[in-house]
Structure 1
């Protein structure tokens, strides 16, 4: 049944976020969804531990001047890992600037993920190889890219869906409206995953939207909205997997809102203490998504000290590899600034030639 055949009540999200594991790590019932298999749960935990360590290492490298900027996603691992693990082999991922952990989980080499933030080379990785669009800094523009690709894939008869991450602030952008509307009208196989971390830099959610939840916005476009506990990786995986399956089956797009929290500042250049209270941050630190899933696994006999140590060692190895590779200076070719801008040479070629003439003179002055 397509979204256009559903009545408005069927498009609305539930009264409470979907949750399969409570804050103490205890399984709970959610109508229509089941706890993922043990193998999936273990992989969710492993990927979140690796993602958190990667995030901390990237933050440290920024303080050392090895990265120009880094937007931490600490606290949002359940959203990024849970949603990405639900992708099928032919699906595409469209990340934002804060979704480095999602890309690492998706199989993009960590150093290639950081190349853009390092100021190295364009997006840093081959989008076609990894079926992942470039990390998008302008809010919501990646949503339009996802709709275009997904619509084209459907026209070609490909069994593919697109998962696109946006933040709560991005839902206030015109590009998000256009993406939601066109996806619904065209029936494009897209899942819009809103990571509602409750802050658009310094603007709180209640200054952005008066909707009951951001998932409720979906009904205005004629697509289903789903509200999920964004710190429950099991629930995120289950809800996103269902939405992607529906998209691939030709039932159109949907919007999934994951309610979570950004534990750290917007970026290393931001001072979050200027606009939010420490008590609020402490409260959400107690709801750490890694601790919640680890508690479930330990209680279920799927994680013990030895296996937890093995995952931690793997994470340390990843961090060490990132440090080693980013510990060297970047050798840049200024002419590459002009690559991949236009299919045919334009006046940019004149600018490139001018730059090539000026650089040697500047080097002599130094």
Structure 2
């Protein structure tokens, strides 16, 4: 097993930290007369504080992920989980992290917010990673953050390259798997038994269709999870969100049926875009969106927006000049996308 030296990675001021102890930390029972947390005593289903340790959610989630409950942390969205990692390991004004570009923009925002240096290593021409370039940039870094499938490119990163990074890097390798459920390749969760320096972020916002409740998942070795629990806010995920997430897990068949439909629609849109004369490149995708290149993304974007069809203009993102990103919608929504695009094609022909 690839071990992690937590003592070298953790911020020095956190080594002796005594975490906040809430009323629900000191008494963990579910029945009794609760006069310990200064709550309103009149029952309205949400008058009590939520479980700060998300026990029921973890109990439901752990067997599905093939990990122990102690290897899970639940966040107010995966962005909070990522922020906890910055605050646990990176000394403001001193440490740095390494990530890739183009990728999810919040990594830079979190680095800047926490006053942490960030170095972004460009992906190859095929939007893949170069482990040697990343490891060179990561000398002295605390974390490497990779997103696979990557946003906004949509592709899986090369797993052999990820493994090389895990084997060589002394810090924490964070793998953002927000879109993994749409991929033909499985999650790398089973690598957690081999690499203590691997940390995986997942979310209920994408495949599970629960973006509105803000629930993120962190999976890692027990030592790292324990540290993150020390610094997280005590009641970071509300009761309603926890309950909705559990119900969704209990009805996982619904998620699976929706995934089948999304993947079918993805194939249909990929085929359409590949045949569209105005589309220059359709990039391979393993996610619930498609990145494609046209001759003038700003013109296309304006045309779509004027017809109440909202896509994402990625032309100002590194490596994505004149690219648009379209999310896979319902069959009806995708039909509308094709209809509007066809009207643009016809107008171009007339011109």
- Report the TM-score, using the length of structure 1 for normalisation: 0.33
More strand by proportion, 1 or 2?
Answer: 2
- Report the TM-score, using the length of structure 2 for normalisation: 0.34
Q: Report the structure number with the largest CA radius of gyration.
A: 2
